[in-house]
Structure 1
Amino acid sequence: MKEYSTKDISNIVGIATPTVRKYAQALEKEGYIFIRNENGFRIFVDEDIEILQQMKQMSNESGMNIVHIASILINQRKQNLVDTIQNESEVTTSVKSEVKEAESLNIDRIDKKYDMLLKEVQELKQLVREQQAYIDERLEKRDQMITQSIRSLQEQRQALLEASTSKEKKGFFARLFSKRL
């Protein structure tokens, strides 16, 4: 199964990259599931190219909005799958296997998305732990500096207080005459 990026799809289908994203978002709203990589970007496969080409063709021919086209295509795919199962009773086993494969593919897509989200949550947890440790360390340093500053100020104040109380209070004349001696 070959994988394509949004830019690859833009070149293959012949539409702008933002249009590819709009088409994909409309399809996802209708329940279509795209494979995503570990960074959360869509990865397109051959099946996705087909539905995007159909969307482009319907948009050019009918002028309908993208959401309505996506709804029609998804319903057609569901109906085609149901019709195939009902009309071909002798091939029921192969149709069931196709349905299972489609379900398996959807399950695989969901599993990949789940794994990616789980990994992202774990990374975010680790980041939060690291940030909390950093914050705690910085707060501890700040508290130590504040405590040290307060102690230093108290020591200076005490020294000034002791210096001022150790001097006798002499009158003006006593101080004046004691300096001359």
Structure 2
Amino acid sequence: MRRDIQPNERAFSSKEVAEEVGIATPTVRKYGQILERNGYEFLKDGDRRIFVQSDIAALIALRDTDKPLDDTAKDLVSQQKEKLAQPSGSEVAITDTYDQLPQDPNQLKEALMFVFNELAAAREMNVQLKSDMALLKQSVSRLQQDHHAISSTISNSAQKTNVKIEKLTEKQNAYYEALLEQEKQKSEELQKEIQSIREEQKEEWNSQNDFNRRLEEAIQRPQGKWSALFSLFRK
């Protein structure tokens, strides 16, 4: 049980401590966990830490240390235990506090009003924190939904794109196959024409050779050569 807390000492939230020490709120929680892990005691409101000036000094020491954080935390725990082991007049002070309550009804009313105002402020802070948490949960939920929608859209777009690419590839392959078939047919027709031309040339060549041979025979005949010669052209 901590006995180093002074009467009416101000308590700080994690956010206020972060601003006071000059570090981020998550770092305040991290330092608090390191200190507790090594035996440091915090005032608690349920699971929530309540910070006082001595705790702020401990966080500053962790912030500015050149040693490993756990080593510094152990030193701070030792210092805290020494302070807690020292005789304290806090119990007497608590008793004296009741004795020193204002007897004047007006002063007592003011003190109670102060306490009520502090409680109201704490309740208002809790309501605000709950509201902020609710908004944060809504934002996270919307972000998750947006992420899911974007992922689905990207997946659908990729699938549609793949389908289009496959269809275009099929069309392109069919077009190339049709062109190849046409070229093949043209090539076959051309080969046939070439073969036909060669056969015609061969027939003409054979006819010419036959004509030349008969002409030569007719010229070499000694008798009736002119009649034989003219007979070649009549055939």
Q: Tell me the TM-score normalized by structure 1.
A: 0.43
Larger radius of gyration: 2
Larger RCO, structures 1/2 (Cα 8 Å, 6+ apart): 1
Q: Tell me the TM-score normalized by structure 2.
A: 0.36
